[in-house]
């Protein structure tokens, strides 16, 4: 039987062409290009509209299908421990590289840049730890889904999942209903993806038109340093860990997720690829419970790229303003920023707001320097989002391996190209879904 041609191939070629066209328009007619910003914003908003239902359905199915509540705690605890460790490693790498290259040395702050920095600080959230914790609790059971708050959706989904689990066989109709809703949500998302070229064109044209080439030249050092640091983290740190514990080649995994990386590159938001990561990790042979718990949680707590960004941006601003941070100041300020940024990993521009808020609370004299990177934050957010996404993909494979919830034969077949992902539905509709072989081998995992 002849395999139908994958029409989505043309979609992603169109995305590349749209990005190139957007850059050209931004350079040729910058004033017109800036007016195209709502086009890119509209596409990202369409994607974000689907995030809450995707997370809710995924976690409810993942948790509700487990008959032992201890497994949820085991997977979640292991994931959170790993996320904390890797965020610390990313923070350390950013500090080392930043102190070696001294980004921002020789730059000087002018009044216009100071004004931009003050504006960014004014828009930054000024919340303490108690506000963060209370903010996780929604005003109602359904408001988390309507407001689009990631952590609130996570909490509600866990509560519903455990409730369905406690209902036993009487909860199976609920699971079947949620599974149908999940397929509907993914189908809608697949339809929205056909607007990706339009969104990419508008976003790229607007940022290039507003920033220009000259502004980027003076900031090439911090951009290059940040890109190199992210590359070191992904292709050295994550690659070694992934091969050591899971015997999976990082390049094979990243090639499998190539289209998701292209989507992130065009939107500067890892959130836009969250539903596809969930679907692809399940297709890779990792069980629904592990994927349902690890991926959404990772989007709030596994912020490797954001950790590197906050580290280097803080060092850059301090150097540019002639008042470098001491080692103690670096550690205390950046630990605060990592905590404050939880739950905002996939939101475009959230890193800039977190940076401004952290400086405002620890070193108010440096807040004006935020304006130094306002112009290139959009470009840095791409590498930040790509690194966050790669870190969550690797984490899901590792957690699946450590808990014995992965079908290695299927993983090899998928990464080897023998079991392609079904782009038409974004779901693994084949005759051998991932959770079945995992369930059969689960007892041997303890």
Distance CA 30, CA 28 (A): 6
Q: How confident is the model at residue 233 (pLDDT cuts 50, 70, 90)?
A: very high
Is-contact 289 77, C-beta < 8 A? no
| DSSP string over 15-64 | HHHHHHHHHHHHHH-HHHHHTTHHHHHHHHHHHHHTHHHHHHHHHHHHHH
Among the ranges given (72-86, 109-123, 324-338), the one the predictor scored with the smallest mean pLDDT: 109-123
- How many of the other CB atoms lie within 10 Å of CB of 308? 30
Burial of residue 47 (CB within 10 Å: 0-12, 13-18, 19+) is buried
Report which of residues 342 and 298 the model is more confident about: 298
Domains delineated in the chain: 8-445 (1.10.3860.10)
Q: What is the pLDDT of residue 357?
A: 63
- pLDDT averaged over every residue in the chain: 75
114, pLDDT greater than 60 = no
Distance CA 52, CA 349 (A): 19
Report which of residues 355 and 53 the model is more confident about: 53
83, pLDDT greater than 80 = yes
Report which of residues 355 and 229 the model is more confident about: 229
Is-contact 141 156, C-beta < 8 A? yes
Report which of residues 115 and 412 the model is more confident about: 412
163, pLDDT greater than 70 = yes
Is-contact 366 399, C-beta < 8 A? no
Q: What is the pLDDT of residue 402?
A: 93
pLDDT tens, position by position, 420-437: 887 765 554 444 444 343
219 phi and psi angles, rounded to 5 deg:
-110, 15
pLDDT tens, position by position, 257-313: 988 888 887 766 677 788 889 889 999 999 888 888 888 888 777 888 888 888 888
Report the candidate in 199, 148, 261, 206 with the shortest Cα–Cα distance to residue 14. 199
pLDDT tens, position by position, 348-394: 445 666 676 667 666 777 766 666 665 566 667 778 888 989 999 99
Q: How confident is the model at residue 410 (pLDDT cuts 50, 70, 90)?
A: very high
Residues 6+ apart with CB under 8 A from 14: 196, 197
Cα angle for residues 4, 10, 13 (degrees, 5° grid):
145
Q: What is the pLDDT of residue 393?
A: 94
Q: How confident is the model at residue 230 (pLDDT cuts 50, 70, 90)?
A: very high
Q: What is the pLDDT of residue 148?
A: 67
């Amino acid at each position: 039987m002849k395999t139908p041609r994958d029409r989505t191939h043309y979609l992603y070629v169109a995305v590349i062409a749209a990005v190139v066209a957007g850059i050209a328009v931004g350079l040729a007619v910058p004033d017109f290009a800036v007016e195209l910003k709502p086009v890119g914003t509209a596409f990202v908003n369409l994607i974000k509209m689907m995030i809450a239902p995707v997370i809710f359905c995924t976690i409810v199915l993942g948790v509700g299908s487990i008959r032992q509540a201890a497994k949820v705690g085991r997977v979640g605890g292991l994931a959170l421990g790993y996320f904390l460790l890797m965020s610390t490693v990313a923070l350390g790498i950013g500090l080392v590289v930043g102190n070696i290259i001294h980004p921002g040395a020789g730059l000087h702050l002018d009044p216009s840049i100071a004004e931009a920095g003050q504006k960014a600080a004014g828009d930054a959230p000024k919340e303490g730890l108690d506000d963060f914790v209370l903010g996780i609790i929604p005003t109602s059971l359904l408001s988390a889904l309507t407001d689009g708050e990631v952590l609130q959706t996570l909490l509600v989904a866990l509560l519903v999942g455990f409730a369905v689990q406690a209902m036993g066989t009487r909860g199976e109709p609920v699971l079947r209903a949620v599974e149908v809703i999940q397929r509907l949500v993914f189908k809608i998302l697949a339809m929205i993806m056909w607007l990706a070229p339009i969104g990419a064109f508008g976003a790229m044209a607007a940022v290039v038109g507003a920033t220009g080439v000259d502004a980027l030249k003076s900031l090439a050092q911090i951009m290059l340093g940040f890109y190199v640091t992210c590359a070191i983290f992904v292709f050295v740190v994550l690659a070694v860990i992934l091969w050591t514990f899971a015997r999976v080649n990082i390049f094979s995994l990243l090639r499998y997720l190539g289209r998701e990386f292209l989507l992130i590159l065009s939107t500067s938001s890892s959130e836009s690829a969250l539903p596809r990561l969930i679907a692809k990790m399940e297709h890779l042979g990792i069980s629904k419970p592990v994927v349902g718990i690890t991926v959404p949680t990772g989007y709030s707590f596994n912020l490797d790229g954001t950790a590197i960004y906050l580290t280097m941006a803080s060092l850059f601003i301090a150097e540019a303003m002639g008042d470098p941070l001491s080692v103690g100041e670096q550690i205390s300020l950046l630990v605060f920023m990592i905590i404050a940024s939880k739950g905002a990993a996939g939101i475009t521009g959230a890193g800039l707001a977190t940076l401004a808020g952290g400086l405002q609370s620890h070193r108010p004299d440096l807040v004006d320097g935020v304006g130094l990177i306002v112009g290139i934050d959009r470009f840095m957010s791409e590498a930040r989002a790509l690194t966050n996404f790669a870190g969550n993909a690797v984490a899901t494979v590792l957690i699946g391996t450590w808990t014995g919830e992965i079908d290695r034969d299927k993983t090899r077949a998928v990464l080897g190209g023998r079991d392609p992902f079904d782009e038409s539905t974004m779901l693994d509709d084949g005759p051998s879904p991932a959770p079945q072989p995992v369930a059969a081998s689960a007892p041997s995992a303890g």
